[in-house]
Amino acid sequence: MQPARAYIGIGSNLGDPIYQVRQAFSRLGDMLSSCCVARSALYRSAPVGGPPDQPDYINAVAALDTGLTPGQLLAVLQAFELAQGRCRTVRWGPRTLDLDLLLYDQLVTDEPRLTLPHPRLHERAFVLYPLYDIAPDLIIPGQGSLRELRANCPQHGLIRLDSDD
């Protein structure tokens, strides 16, 4: 079986967010049946939705070649979140780690536990800009080219961090 290309959105705004995102990169790189083939720069962004007065987020995107099914990959990502102290108490609230399965090849699915592509991927600068770093020619099923989506999505305070931030 050919591995699938999956894109994972990574975010954190608690517990030293830069460290949390780097830990996520490390965990993704060590995952069984998978290989991390690319990772974006880190970006700082204001929180979207959720309670006011949250700290800014650090965001990134990783590309994996994986032999896991989408459901298996989602379960591993949620286990990583828990291992890094994620508590799911407030929707869109602050968190030590948020791992979103953004895309899994060109699969389109809408199930109770998993929607692919991620339902808000095409409208969020903190996903589009880091995703563009690693896959500028990507086509998002049902949405079009990443290049066009990014061009039509203002940065709204999104700041690309230097590589050693």
The catalytic position among 39, 44, 95, 124 is 95
Nearest C-alpha neighbor of 2 from the set 106, 100, 98: 106
Please indicate whether residue 98 is annotated as part of the active site. Answer: yes
Q: Given 27, 39, 44, 98, which residue is catalytic? A: 98
103 exposed, middle or buried (CB, 10 Å; 0-12, 13-18, 19+)? buried
The torsion angles phi and psi of 65, rounded to 5 degrees, stand at: -100, 120
Q: Is the backbone peptide bond immediately before 47 cis, with ω within 30 degrees of 0? A: no
The reply to whether 100 belongs to the active site is yes
The amino acid present at 52, given as its one-letter code, is P
95 annotated active-site: yes
Beta strands in the chain (DSSP E): 4-12, 34-39, 43-45, 57-66, 98-104, 109-110, 115-116, 139-140, 144-145, 159-160
The letter for the amino acid at 79 is: A
**Which of the following is catalytic: 100, 105, 133, 147?**
100
Catalytic residue among 27, 39, 86, 124: 86
- Catalytic residue numbers, as ranges: 86, 95, 98, 100
